[in-house]
């Protein structure tokens, strides 16, 4: 079978209109005699040539009154070969009815044949088609605009990656999946699809992969669904897969907006000064003090933030770092805590889905202490179920000589092993609450009681005495 020339030609900017929409116009009086009414019409063309093939681009509704029609079978074959979408035959002045041979030839080739009544001029049909195309174009623009707004709103939510995928799946009435570089499904949204369609979508996404210079998108069919895959920017090998029942005009544009947003949300925050930051890291590894390299990372002073929570996706920490405006983020803690370093004064605000502990602003030499402050603030936030807790200054404790305070603290707390010391610190910070201490340390409340009783015995102190509690708190807070 000859490939229609329309595959090699560009289609007009307006979306196609199904023949059914034109047939539904009662004022035109059109009647379908052969073929399907579901074919798309890209334009309309009128010709009375015996062989219209040289003048057709493909995808059009060809209109004729059959002035030079001598061999209907040959004529229809040439029209089909040219890639025309449908044939409209005008009754009178040449023919009183549509020739039976023409109807048979169109039915045999599967070419839709439409009868145009005498009272309907060809120009009325053309004008109706252009109007329908304009309406379809307006609908498409409105649909794309609304989808862009919906995706942008989703990108600003606390869990932006799942939100964007959910908005995309909703707008396309299908399923959206984000695949990792190894082909595993990272995040998904939308309705479930058959297993064979899911495999076909994963395989299609694998066609893109992380290869430099590879295709940016691919499409196909699988499991009775229309499939499309898009490579995300950033060079991390992430791909977006979309499965829908049909492919409407504007779908590719909507998916393109989602690709841009997801690329920004999932890519590491790497600015133009990434080489400088890498150089600072190398200097630290080679023995430089933090104070010697901090200037390359920012003006300082610095604030440390400890965070827990997020949406559970691999991109949650990067999204949090972007929201707080810092590229300095570390996710390697075994307990799932995310640590961030922000130049002060840092505008740390509550972030949906996260629990934050914020240190005081410090100079580079005080970063270790600030890290401990942020850790304590996070534990307090978790215990009190607050979304954000900031480290509070030492107050009266700052009036005591640090060296003398540290020496006294070492002597006072010497009988306590580290687990008991940490339990006592947390218990005192939570005003002696057994339940909240248990939550903060992730242990049973009876274990808390046993440890506090043991602390009192080893220290030989009455922990119900507020003066004792105050002294112990100062000792536990000493550097």
Q: Is the pLDDT of residue 377 over 70?
A: yes
Given this model, what pLDDT does residue 135 score? 87
Pairing verdict, β 40-41 and 43-46: unpaired
Q: Looking at residues 323-338, what average pLDDT do you find?
A: 78
pLDDT recorded at residue 4: 44
Q: Answer whether residue 176 shows pLDDT above 70.
A: yes
How far apart CA 82 and CA 58 sit, in angstroms, is 6
Question: Other CB atoms closer than 10 Å to residue 231's CB: what's the count?
Answer: 24
pLDDT digits (tens, 9 = 90+) for 86-144: 999 999 888 999 999 999 999 999 999 999 999 999 999 999 999 998 888 888 888 88
Percentage of the residues of the chain whose pLDDT score is greater than 70: 86
260-306: per-residue pLDDT in tens? 888 878 765 444 455 566 666 776 667 777 777 776 666 678 889 99
Is a pLDDT exceeding 90 seen at residue 475? no
Per-residue model confidence (pLDDT) at position 286: 73
CA 382 from chain centre, in angstroms, equals 29
Check residues 6 and 186 and name the one with the higher pLDDT.
Answer: 186
What is the pLDDT, as a whole number, of residue 49? Answer: 93
Longest dimension (CA), the chain: 117
Strand duo 239-244 + 217-222: pairing? unpaired
Whether a cis peptide bond, with omega within 30° of 0, leads into 273 is no
Residue 234 pLDDT:
60
Assign residue 57 a region (left: φ > 0; alpha: ψ between -120 and 50; beta: otherwise).
alpha
CB atoms within 10 A of CB 391: 21
**Sheet containing strand 338-343, strands side by side:** 329-330, 338-343, 302-309, 354-358, 388-390
So where are the chain's domains? Answer: 5-132, 156-266, 280-392, 397-477
- pLDDT tier for residue 209 given thresholds of 50, 70 and 90: low
Residue 310: pLDDT band by 50, 70, 90 thresholds?
Answer: confident
> What is the pLDDT averaged over residues 463-473?
87
Residue 454: its pLDDT value, please? 92
Question: Is 293 within 8 Å of 276 (Cβ atoms)?
Answer: no
Assigned CATH topology for domain 156-266: Beta-Lactamase (3.30.450)
Rounded to 5°, angle at Cα 322 from 319 and 326? 135
Class of domain 5-132: alpha beta
pTM of the predicted structure, to 2 decimals: 0.52
Mean pLDDT of the chain: 84
Q: What is the pLDDT of residues 74-94, one digit of tens each?
A: 999 999 999 999 999 999 888
- For 148-157, which contacts have Cβ atoms below 8 Å and span 24 or more sequence positions? 148/254, 148/257, 151/254, 151/257, 151/258, 151/261, 152/261, 154/261, 155/261, 155/264, 155/265, 157/352
Cβ atoms within 10 A of the Cβ of 337, count? 18
397 token code pair: 């404790």
| Helices 316-324, 160-172: crossing angle, 10 deg rounding | 110
Instruction: Look at residue 3 in the predicted model and tell me its pLDDT.
Output: 41
Angle, helices 72-82 vs 100-109, to 10°: value is 40
Q: Which residues are CB-contacts of 345 (< 8 A; sequence separation ≥ 6)?
A: 303, 361
Give the 3-state secondary structure of residue 33: strand
Q: How confident is the model at residue 356 (pLDDT cuts 50, 70, 90)?
A: very high
Break the chain down into helix, strand, coil percent, rounded to 5.
Answer: 45, 15, 35
pLDDT of amino acid 157: 79
For residues 6-13, average pLDDT: 45
Question: Which superfamily does 397-477 belong to?
Answer: PucR C-terminal helix-turn-helix domain (1.10.10.2840)
Q: Are 367 and 356 a contacting pair, CB within 8 Å?
A: no
Look up residue 341 and give its two tokens.
């370093």
């Amino acid at each position: 079978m000859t490939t229609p020339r329309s595959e090699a030609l560009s289609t007009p900017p307006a979306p196609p209109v199904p023949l059914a929409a034109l047939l539904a116009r009662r004022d035109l009086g059109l009647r379908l005699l052969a073929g399907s009414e579901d074919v798309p019409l890209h334009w309309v063309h009128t010709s009375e040539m015996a062989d219209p093939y040289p003048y057709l681009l493909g995808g059009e509704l060809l209109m004729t009154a059959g002035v030079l029609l001598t061999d209907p079978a040959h004529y229809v074959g040439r029209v089909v070969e040219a890639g025309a979408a449908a044939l409209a035959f005008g009754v009178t002045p040449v023919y009183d009815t549509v020739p039976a041979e023409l109807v048979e030839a169109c039915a045999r080739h599967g070419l839709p044949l439409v009868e145009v009544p005498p009272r309907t001029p060809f120009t009325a049909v053309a004008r109706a088609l252009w109007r329908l195309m304009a309406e379809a174009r307006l609908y498409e623009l409105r649909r794309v605009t609304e989808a862009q707004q919906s995706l942008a709103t989703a990108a600003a939510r606390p869990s932006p990656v799942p939100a964007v995928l959910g908005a995309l799946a909703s707008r396309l009435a299908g399923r959206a999946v984000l695949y990792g570089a190894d082909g595993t499904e990272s995040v998904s949204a939308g309705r479930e699809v058959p297993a064979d369609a899911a495999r076909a979508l994963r395989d299609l996404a694998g066609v893109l992969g992380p290869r430099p210079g590879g295709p940016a998108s691919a499409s196909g069919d699988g499991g009775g669904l229309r499939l499309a895959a898009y490579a995300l920017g950033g060079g991390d090998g992430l791909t977006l897969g979309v499965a829908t029942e049909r492919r409407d005009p504007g779908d590719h544009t909507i998916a393109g907006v989602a690709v841009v947003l997801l690329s920004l949300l999932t890519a590491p925050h790497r600015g133009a000064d990434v080489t400088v930051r890498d150089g600072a890291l190398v200097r630290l590894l080679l023995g430089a003090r933090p104070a010697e390299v901090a200037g390359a990372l920012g003006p300082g002073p610095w604030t440390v933030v400890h965070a827990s929570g997020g949406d559970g996706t691999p991109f949650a920490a990067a999204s949090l770092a972007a929201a707080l405006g810092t590229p300095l983020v570390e996710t390697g803690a075994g307990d799932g805590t995310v640590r961030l370093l922000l130049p002060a004064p840092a505008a740390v605000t509550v972030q949906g889905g996260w629990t934050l502990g914020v240190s005081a602003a410090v100079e580079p030499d005080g970063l270790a202490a600030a890290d401990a402050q942020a850790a304590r603030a996070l534990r307090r936030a978790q215990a009190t179920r607050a979304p954000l807790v900031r480290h509070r200054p030492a107050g009266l404790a700052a009036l005591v000589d640090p060296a003398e305070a540290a020496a006294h603290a070492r002597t006072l707390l010497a009988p306590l092993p580290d687990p008991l010391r940490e339990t006592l610190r947390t218990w005192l910070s939570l005003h002696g609450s057994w339940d909240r201490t248990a939550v903060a340390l992730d242990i049973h409340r009876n274990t808390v009681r046993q440890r506090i009783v043991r602390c009192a015995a080893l220290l030989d102190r009455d922990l119900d005495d507020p003066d004792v509690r105050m002294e112990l708190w100062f000792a536990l807070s000493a550097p």
